[in-house]
């Protein structure tokens, strides 16, 4: 049976932003079975991790972008040694600032965004694509790609996803998970400060952390070949252990 890599998408934009990364992984590693697992469509945030645990195969490598990376971390900690390894991409340990985690989105900014989404979901999602692409080499084209592929908003599920994004603090999960970890950050990320990479390495000095310079939060769509190469090198090293 081939090794499996499961990719979890980020908030609000569906699975399309991960398709270029998925294609790059399959091209560079035909032996690897790569699958994008959509985030739950249920509006009950409390059940999301259980739903993913039911759907995602055991004994797979878990990877995720942004919110998907945070959920992958929680799922990896839950599964322990039955998870081959954990990879996160542009995912902060805490998306919003905490007293002991400064390199994250200010709470007032997050709360204003949440309120704007509830009032005008479609307009707020469009603005979100601009934030995701901000800092890219060609931000306008990247934002257009995100907007064209964006699914119709399911407000209840997206609201649940925002609740999770604001509440999750994955530091406990990351410290509990016994397997190998790779955390990729983007140097020009407008949503997850690049300094979060240093903070994570101070928190967990034994994990692998890398910053892809000149890249935006839309890292998997903007720089799929580089991200795929980093992931596959990490998997190869894990298989050699």
Show the domain range for 118: 4-240
Residues of the chain above pLDDT 90, percent: 93
Query: Is residue 187 pLDDT above 50, yes or no?
Result: yes
Q: How far is CA 9 from CA 57, 70, 74, 90, 238, in A?
A: 16, 10, 14, 11, 23
Query: Is residue 1 pLDDT above 50, yes or no?
Result: no
* Contacts of the segment 126-132: beta carbons below 8 A, 24+ positions apart: 128/12, 128/13, 129/13, 131/190, 131/191, 131/217, 132/13, 132/17, 132/190, 132/191, 132/216, 132/217, 132/218
Global confidence as pTM: 0.96
The reply to whether 94 belongs to the active site is: no
What mean pLDDT do residues 49-56 have? Answer: 94
In the set 66, 94, 133, 216, the catalytic residue is: 66
In the set 15, 183, 189, 216, the catalytic residue is: 189
Two tokens, residue 233: 């090198």
Mean per-residue pLDDT over the chain, rounded: 95
Distance of alpha carbon 163 from alpha carbon 39, whole angstroms:
14
Q: How many domains does the chain have?
A: 1
The reply to whether 217 belongs to the active site is: yes
pLDDT in tens, 114-164: 999 999 999 999 999 999 999 999 999 999 999 999 999 899 999 999 999
The reply to whether 183 belongs to the active site is: no
pLDDT in tens, 10-50: 999 999 999 999 999 999 999 999 999 999 988 787 899 99
| pLDDT of amino acid 174 | 98
**Residues in a beta bridge with 212:** 186
Query: Is residue 91 pLDDT above 80, yes or no?
Result: yes
CATH number of the domain bearing residue 159: 3.40.50.1820
What mean pLDDT do residues 213-221 have? Answer: 97
């Amino acid at each position: 049976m081939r090794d499996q890599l499961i990719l979890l998408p980020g908030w609000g934009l569906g699975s399309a932003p991960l398709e270029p990364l998925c294609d790059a992984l399959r091209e560079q590693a035909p032996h690897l079975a790569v699958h994008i697992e959509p985030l739950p469509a249920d509006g009950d945030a409390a059940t999301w991790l259980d739903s993913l645990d039911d759907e995602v195969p055991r004994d797979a490598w878990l990877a995720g972008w942004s919110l998907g990376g945070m959920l992958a971390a929680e799922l990896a900690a839950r599964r322990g040694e039955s998870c081959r390894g954990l990879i996160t991409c542009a995912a902060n340990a805490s998306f919003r600032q905490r007293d002991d985690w400064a390199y994250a989105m200010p709470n007032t900014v997050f709360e204003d965004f949440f309120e704007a989404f509830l009032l005008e979901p479609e307009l707020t999602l469009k603005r979100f694509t601009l934030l995701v692409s901000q800092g890219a080499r060609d931000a306008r084209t990247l934002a257009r790609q995100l907007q064209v592929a964006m699914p119709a908003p399911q407000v209840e599920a997206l609201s649940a996803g925002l609740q999770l994004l604001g509440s999750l603090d994955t530091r406990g999960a990351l410290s509990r998970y016994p397997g190998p970890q790779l955390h990729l950050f983007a140097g020009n990320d407008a949503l997850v400060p690049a300094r979060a990479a240093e903070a994570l390495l101070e928190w967990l000095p034994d994990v692998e952390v890398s910053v892809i310079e000149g890249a935006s939060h839309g890292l998997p769509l903007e720089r799929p070949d580089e991200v795929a190469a980093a992931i596959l090198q990490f998997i190869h090293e894990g298989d050699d252990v």
